[in-house]
Structure formats: structure tokens, C-alpha cells
Structure 1
Amino acid sequence: MTESLHIVCPHCHTTNRLRSDQLGSAPDCGSCKKPLFTGKPVDLDGAAFDKHLQRNQIPLLVDFWAPWCGPCRQMAPAYVQAAAQLEPRIRVAKVDTEAQQALGARFQIRSIPTLALFVGGREVARQAGAMGAADIVRWVQQHAPH
């Protein structure tokens, strides 16, 4: 039996309903008609973050980073590579803690980069420090439900 999932669009942040077996078939948003999965991290502000956290029925991986952070900039290409491997089973996002200080404070981000994995709206794992793409994928696979 195929279950129905809610997936939030990375472009217009509208919640879409699709069957789990449609995840891999490059589904488009019913509202803005853009792809629901781009293979790249989604930049989130406070309102968009909450929508993705509460409405997505797939795990949400978030990189908390800042533009002035050397290790963050160093990890950015690896994070993009990891996103291409993790989607569409995982929504991959970024939060600029400089621009979104309230989110950084809310999740008590003490060092950056910090990866946080959310499942069902709750944080299930956290890892501080820059990682390569293979390490990011492996870390997510260890902590995400299968």
C-alpha cells in the first residue's frame, strides 16, 4: 500500500500531497509548478523553517551556518553534493544564523557549522563541525528512519 505524504515546496513553501512512490519521479509543486526536489539545499528563514519542520513528512536536515565562517564555506560544496544524494528521501536545508539569529538561538546553536536532523518535527541528531559529503550522507543514514 502506498502512503500519502506532505511535502513542502522549496520555492513557494506550499504543502503538497503526493504518494510515497512518486518521490523519485521528479514531482512538481501543484501551486508554483516548480520541482519539489532540486538536489540542492533550500535556504530557509524563520517562517519557511517552521513550515518545513512541521509540514514535511520526510526528515529535514539543516545546516546552521554563517557567511563569515570559514569551515562553513569550506563545507558548502560537500553539503550540496550530499543534498543531491539524500533527496528526495530527506529535505536538505540551510539556515544562515547571521540573518536568522532567532533560529540559531531557538536551537541553541553554539558553534557552526552544525547539522541538525529533524524527524516528525523533533530534533533526533546533531553534529557540529565541517564534514565531507560522504560523511554527511553516512551520518544522516545512521540517524534517519529507513
Structure 2
Amino acid sequence: MRVVIQRSKQASVTVDGQVTGAIDSGYVLLVGLTHEDTLEDVRYVAKKVAELRLWEDEEGKMNRSIVEHGGEILSVSQFTLYADTRKGRRPSFIEAARPEKALPLWEAFNEELKSTYGLKVETGVFGAMMDVSLVNDGPVTIIVESKAKE
């Protein structure tokens, strides 16, 4: 599982002209899943996302988590995070999980952020062509991968 975290001041996802999810201060999460991912990976990455200290404290140091900050999540499924560009000019997506596996894991990830960490989670639409708009805060962009577990 691979998640790109972008700290944002505001963000939204639009599908066919309709806003499907919008947040104020928080994270935009671009979520990629591979065919090897499990619920253990989902829990690990959700914990990392919730507990990473990417928000400033009173002294201006990145010392607070999104939970402490009171931020929101905009979660967007993105199979292209598993693009393999080593050969040729057309990326291969063979490592990305098939929709029947990826959708339930993405939903479990979003639910884990809500139920375990009390975060407000808005989403894009799985498998849809989406327009994602955000104001990157910092900019702060971090990549978390479940295969990099301690």
C-alpha cells in the first residue's frame, strides 16, 4: 500500500461536474493498493497517517498529528501510484490491485481513519475520472508505504 500525503488548506474532488468530497485544513491522500496488500497493511498505513507529526505546534515545529490539529481527510483512490515505468514509454500497472480487491481495502482504510482515529473523511469516487483541486500547505508532501514497516 502506498499513500501520498499532501497537507492542504482546502481541497475537493469533482466527478462529472459534481463535488463528491471537500475538506478545509487537512490531508489529501492519494491511495494506491497492490495485489499483495492486506488489512494489516491498511491498519499500518492508517495509523501512520493519523499519527505522523506534520502540523506545527506553538513554537512553529512540526510536532502535531492531524488528530491533534483537528484536520480532515480527502481520500482519493489512485492505482497509478503503482505505475512501472522502467521499460518503454507506456507505464505498466500490473502491480496495482484489481478493483475487486482494491475497493474493499480502500473502503476499510477510510473506515479505519474514521472509526479508530475519529477523523472526518471525504472521498473521491473509486474508479472514476476525477478532478482533484487543492491548496498545498507548506508545501508538505510525504509518502507512506506499508512495505516499509518497521
Select the structure that is richer in helix: 1
Task: Settle same-fold status: TM greater than 0.5.
Answer: no
**TM-score, reference length from structure 1:** 0.32
Greater relative CO, 1 or 2 (CA 8 Å, sep 6+): 2
Please give the TM-score of this superposition, normalised by the length of structure 2. Answer: 0.31
Larger Rg: 2
